[in-house]
Structures are given as C-alpha cells and as structure tokens.
A and B are shown apart, each in its own frame.
Chain A
C-alpha cells in the first residue's frame, strides 16, 4: 500500500470522526441544551464536508501515482 492509498484511508477515517463528533455534539445538545454544542456540531459538519472535497481533489491530482 503506497502513501497515496494510506492517505485516502486516513482522510476517510477523519471524515468518519468528524461525522461522529457532529452526532456527539447533537446528543449533548439534546441532553443539556447549550447553544455552543450546536455551533460545535456545525463546525464538525463543515470539516467533514471539507475533508470529502479535499479527498476528491487529492485523488484527481495524484491519479498518475500507483496505489501499491
């Protein structure tokens, strides 16, 4: 597995982390009702979307490099 492939695995894991963080913040908001949790959830969601966009750009730019 090349660095390119491992980087894609890492970006996928980061996206999943950001989505989980969004879910956790929403659960905290449901239990405690602090507005800060909603802001935190929104930032996490934006980061998740940003990482997906970055991953697509990365794939396009490095298409000539092997996955192995």
Chain B
C-alpha cells in the first residue's frame, strides 16, 4: 500500500504530511528549549552582583572561550547555507552536487562537535579553589606537569598531598560584566598575562572542584543547554548522513519524495542552528 501525501499536498493542510509533522515536532522543541532559556534568564537575573568566585553566588563571566564560540557559530551558519544548497541541487536534478553539499554540512556538524568537546575538556581541567581565609582563586592544577580532570578536595586528600601547585588565572576584562567597575588589583597583567604559579597547602583549602555542572548554577545550566544542543546536532548529522549516502535508490525511483525528505531534514537543521544563534550570545556574552 502506498503512503499518501508524501509528495502531493493534503487538500486540508495544503502541505505534504512530512512538512506538517516536522513543524509539529519543531513546535515541541521550541517549548523544550524555551523552558531552558527562560530558566537561564531567571537564574541570571536573580544572581547577586559581584565578581565570581570572590562572591560565590555571583554570575561567572568570561570563563567561556569567546573566539572559539564565535568560530563554532560561523561553522553552523556555513552548514545551514550548504544544507539549503543541497536541497536546491536536488530541485535542479543534480544528485552528485547534492551529495557534495551534504558532505560539507555533515563535516561542519562533526567539526562543531569536536570543537565543543575541546571546550568541555578545557572546563574539566579548570578549577575553582576556596581557601580558609575566605578568598578564592581559579586556575589549572599542575600535577607533575599534567593538568588533571575532575579532581576534588577528596582526591587531593586521598593522595595525601601536602600542597597543590596551581597556575592561578589573572582575571582579564571579560571576567567582569559590561559596565562593572574593575578593581585595581585585577588590572595587573592585562588580557594576555601569564598564569602565575602558586603552591597552596591542602590544609588551607576548603573547596576544590573542576568546572563541572555541580560547581554552580551557571555551570549546571551551561552544560545542560549546550549538551542538549550537541545531542540535536549529532542526531541531525546522523539523519542527514543517512539521507545523503543511502538514498540513491529513492532518487532513481521517487526523486520528489527524496527532495521533500531533504527539505524536512533541512528545516530541522535550521532549527538546531537557530537555537545556537540564541544560545551563543546568552551563554557566552551576557
């Protein structure tokens, strides 16, 4: 039995079925991401003013790599252009051209995920350390020349280390919200200052943790939103790869149906990219 309305539009909706389906699905996705964005904004607005980590409940700034985030934004914009070009190539009856453009799209998706993984790894080796005198520093641990991941104070205690060597961050201007007055102490070194190495006694440490979701509200929502978005990128890339490399037979028997499938895949891909267009300024810049 033939599936109805895969090519011809339904008389009642004026659209073929897959297009109605994808828009209903995207409506549910808007609600999902909308809830996360609303939560982020409420948490951000509710955070105390001040410099993190000096004020533990303040909102951290400048801890994410903005140039890398911008580069990832460009990668996703390029992938949106190529997915449209692939669809247009099918409309023009050029299957080879379609495959070439789709391959670039999939490469962009994988590139995005690789860069995001690098960013995650950077966070997992970056630490916040609170001391008994009430002060706090951020930086990278130096354990025999290596920067370990996911350590806590319990790890340091278990290893019976009397002290830990830390390359302490010199806060640059991105660590302060736009308009906030910079304390004189933080001007030292400037943006490209070397990380100062410092030996901290284990007995002086009250808290030591990498930048993981449990470290604070900002990290919890940052990892949740970006990981959820990353899953969408991965899912989209798998579907687009299937359409690209396993669709030769359908192209020969039912080319219009394949073109419609690519349009639906392209709509999902654009939605995923549009989420990033909102996610990037909200999480990285504000």
Contact = CB atoms under 8 A, between A and B. Distances in A.
Q: Is the interface of A mostly helix, strand, loop or mixed?
A: helix
A10 B178 contact: no
B271 to A, nearest CB: 8
Contacts, number: 67
A53 interface: no
Interface stretch (B96-104, B216-224, B233-241, B274-282): B274-282
B270 A1 contact: no
B14 A17 contact: no
A11 B136 CA distance: 43
A14 B77 contact: yes
Contacts of B14: 68
Interface residues of A, number: 28
B89 interface: no
Given A17-B73, A31-B178, A54-B81, A10 B273 contact: yes
B178 A6 contact: no
Interface string A8-22: 011001100100110
Given A6-B267, A14-B77, A68 B15 contact: yes
Q: Is the interface of B mostly helix, strand, loop or mixed?
A: helix
A31 B173 contact: yes
A24 B80 CA distance: 25
Interface string B248-286: 000000000000000100110011011001101100010
Interface residues of B, number: 32
B33 to A, nearest CB: 14
Nearest to B62: A28
B270 A10 contact: yes
Contacts of A13: 274, 277-278
A49 B189 CA distance: 36
A20 B70 CA distance: 12
B73 A3 contact: no
A28 B173 contact: yes
A23 B132 CA distance: 41
A21 B271 CA distance: 21
Nearest to B84: A7
Given A31-B173, A68-B14, A3 B266 contact: yes
B174 interface: yes
Contacts of A62: 88
A3 B178 contact: no
B191 interface: yes
24 contacts: A3-B87, A6-B267, A6-B270, A6-B271, A9-B270, A10-B274, A10-B277, A13-B274, A17-B277, A17-B280, A21-B70, A21-B281, A24-B178, A24-B281, A27-B178, A27-B179, A28-B173, A28-B174, A31-B179, A34-B191, A51-B77, A58-B84, A65-B91, A68-B15
Interface of A: 1-4, 6-7, 9-10, 13-14, 17, 20-21, 24, 27-28, 31-32, 34, 36, 47, 51, 54, 58, 61-62, 65, 68
Interchain residue pairs A-B with the least CB separation, the first 7: A32-B173, A3-B266, A3-B263, A27-B178, A13-B277, A7-B84, A6-B270
